[in-house]
Amino acid sequence: MKAIASTTYGGPDVLRELDLPTPEAGPGEVRIRVHAAAVNPTDAMLRTGAYAARTTDVPPPYVPGMDAAGVIDQLGPGADGRLSVGQRVVALVVPTGPRGGAYAEQIVVPAESVVPAPAGTGHAEASTLLMNAATARLALDTLALREGATVAVTGAAGAVGGYTIELAKADGLTVVADAAPHDRDLVRGFGADHVVDRGTDVAVRIREMAPAGVPGLVDGSDQREEAVPAVADGGAFVALRGWQGPAERGVTVTPVFVASVRADTALLDTLRLQAEQGVLSLRVAKVLPASDAAEAHRLLEAGGLRGRLVLDFS
């Protein structure tokens, strides 16, 4: 079985095409013949060793990837009756475990982390859904804002940012989002009610729209202390890269980790339905052969992508 993996930590060039044993589905698991795997910032963090503390009991090679789309080719004993061999599916994969991540021709994952692929989508599109949309859903659920409240979103043109805006609008929230001049139309297209200039002074710009501050903010651009002043006294701030504060004025900082909802099948399936209904926009920046994974990581780190890079394993 072909997989893209590394045996050491480092830059994009540590990624290699390796032949690994074909995995077998165990109890409660399914095996997926992967056709597409989205490339996310967390994949680069695994590659560089940022998650080394989570893999101390996992020997190399390290296989990145949290988003897979493909076809089920094996059901383990007691696997969920929702799923069947030959079914097109998407999966939220945790690459720090002994099974590794999504960058492989075949992966084995818990059935609870697998849902049908959105109807009408190709494998590449489908692979861009779960990790980023589930992160956005988790962020909004953590804020728990009432309908009609205002949420601010930084990094709004990115994958998580775009999904956060779309889900927030579906929740009945008012959205203030940031964007560079060339991304303003894109961010408005997601449904943002107000668009402000991105940058180090984003909090000032948000305060111009909401003088008392916003009750909640999702920090998709990882601006941390720069963005906190946009939040009202006693408000809530959600961090996506593990930052825990501190913040002043009673602002609560909560880091969220998408792996915490990997077993929430109902949440994952709701996101699938919202993609089918057009609530969520699936965006593919570029599809590359799996053998070009190192180049995909270089493009990811160069920034400026609108949508996700996808590795083609078909």
- Indicate the helix (H) or strand (E) that contains 135: helix 130-143
Q: For residue range 4-32, list pLDDT tens digits in order.
A: 999 999 999 999 999 999 999 999 999 99
Residue 120's pLDDT is 96
Q: DSSP label at 129?
A: S
Sign of CA dihedral 37, 263, 139, 246: negative
Distance CA 3, CA 111 (A): 21
pLDDT tens string 101-127: 999 999 999 999 999 999 999 999 999
pLDDT higher than threshold 90 for residue 55: no
Query: What tens digit of pLDDT does each residue of 142-170 get?
Result: 999 999 999 999 999 999 999 999 999 99
pTM listed for this prediction: 0.96
Model confidence at 250: pLDDT above 80:
yes
What's the CA gap between 12 and 48, in Å, rounded? Answer: 9
pLDDT at 52 (0 to 100):
86
- Using alpha carbons, select from 195, 159, 153 the residue that is nearest to residue 171: 153
Cα-trace Rg, the chain: 19
- The answer, yes or no, to whether residue 53 has pLDDT greater than 90, is no
Which amino acid is residue 270, in one-letter code? T
How far is C-alpha 127 from the geometric centre of its chain's CA atoms? 10
Cβ–Cβ < 8 Å for 109, 99? yes
214: enclosing H helix or E strand: strand 214-219
